[in-house]
Amino acid sequence: MQLWNGKTLTVILLSALLLGVLYCYISQSYRVVSLGSVWEEITADGSRTDVVTVTPWLAPVVWEGTFNPVLLDSIYKPQNISVAVTVFAVGKYVMFLKDFLETAEQYFFVGFNVHVYVFTDQPTKMPQVKMGSGRQLTVRSVPSSKRWQEISARRMELIQTLIEEKLRNRTDYIFCLDVDSKFHGRWGTESLGGLVAVIHPGYYRDDRSQFPYERRPQSRAYVGPGQGDFYYCGGAFGGLLQEVHQLAKTCRSNFEADAKEGIEAAWQEESHLNRYMWINKPSKVLSPEYLWQDFKPRNAEVYIVRFSGVVKNYAEIRPNV
């Protein structure tokens, strides 16, 4: 009886050992299978733990190292998507067009259908820029203005009209960008989404109470204490055409209604955009890599600057102070 018990114990122990070895082997191979191609590709650049990569409403926050550009391009390429860009160059700001357009050719949605719409009061001063295959440039005349605030804010109206008159049913996505900026790195399919906002480089490390939202309750751009998510840039936003149309239409009408009551929000259309994005959460948020400022030294978490505002002398280039 004792002998049988001893043998049984040995068999049980050996079986347990064998099962253990088998379990380790199978789980190891399963890991390779399940984490194989896709996962390893996504994490190929290393995942990011030093920055917020998803918002509390589950929108991705795009930083270098959080996406696979090759995989993303291969998803969008067969869809033959088209991307429109708006850029305004009124008064002395025409001087920024050449660099903006040339660097866009190098870095912005390379290999995709891109149509750049330049709004200017001086079409004769348009620089000659060679556009690549599948890429187009259209110039639209706009009146000049004596107030930079008006030029900046009127963009919403002109974007709304452009979408209604020209782009509807012809373009999938649109991005609206400041002209006094240059591209320095890839800006591509990773930025696509329904409603896309860019986190302002000047405030992303600050507490929400420091954000320069419009704080007067009389304004339609008002964001109260404890409200708001990020502080977003007025200098870059975009998304699906219908989403940007809704944004531009709302910001324009709120800006104009405020103006009728003698109120101009602290940062013009940027304030209205921030209010809009607080109520209508963006489905994709781009990190400050997508609009840095040349005068700011690059912070450690910013591995790459993709688009950045040039240093400018406001007193020299704006029509008013």
Compute the distance between CA of residue 274 and CA of residue 270 in angstroms, rounded to an integer: 6
For ligand UD2, which is the closer residue by CB, 228 or 319?
Answer: 319
Give min distance, CB of 125 to ligand UD2, in A: 12
Q: Which of 214, 243, 270, 289 is catalytic?
A: 270
H/E run at residue 246: helix 241-260
Q: Which one of 196, 233, 285, 286 is in contact with ligand UD2 (CB under 6 A)?
A: 233
> How is residue 180 annotated by DSSP?
S
Describe the crossing of helices 148-162 and 268-279 by its angle, rounded to 10 degrees.
50
Nearest Cα neighbor of 29 from 21, 38, 16 is: 21
For ligand UD2, which is the closer residue by CB, 90 or 285?
Answer: 90
Q: Which one of 234, 238, 239, 282 is in contact with ligand UD2 (CB under 6 A)?
A: 234
Could you say whether residue 93 binds ligand UD2 (CB under 6 A)?
Answer: yes
Choices 35-43, 173-181, 242-250, 253-261 (CB under 6 A): range interacting with ligand UD2: 173-181
Neighbouring residues of 75: CB distance < 8 A, sequence distance ≥ 6: 189
Q: Which one of 109, 112, 148, 213 is in contact with ligand UD2 (CB under 6 A)?
A: 148
Nearest Cα neighbor of 200 from 262, 267, 258, 138 is: 267
For ligand UD2, which is the closer residue by CB, 67 or 159?
Answer: 159
For ligand UD2, which is the closer residue by CB, 85 or 167?
Answer: 85
Compute the distance between CA of residue 293 and CA of residue 290 in angstroms, rounded to an integer: 10
Under 8 Å between Cβ of 47 and 66 = yes
In degrees rounded to 5, what are phi and psi of residue 59? Answer: -95, 140
E strand intervals along 144-187: 173-177, 181-183
- By beta-carbon distance, which residue lies closest to ligand UD2? 234
Active site residue 270: yes
User: Which of positions 241-270 make contact with ligand UD2 (CB under 6 A)?
Assistant: 267-270
Q: Which one of 59, 62, 104, 179 is in contact with ligand UD2 (CB under 6 A)?
A: 179
Compute the distance between CA of residue 243 and CA of residue 109 in angstroms, rounded to an integer: 20
Q: Which one of 88, 112, 204, 255 is in contact with ligand UD2 (CB under 6 A)?
A: 88
Could you say whether residue 318 binds ligand UD2 (CB under 6 A)?
Answer: yes
Binding-site ranges for ligand UD2 (CB under 6 A): 88-91, 93, 148, 151-152, 178-180, 233-235, 267-270, 291, 309, 318-319
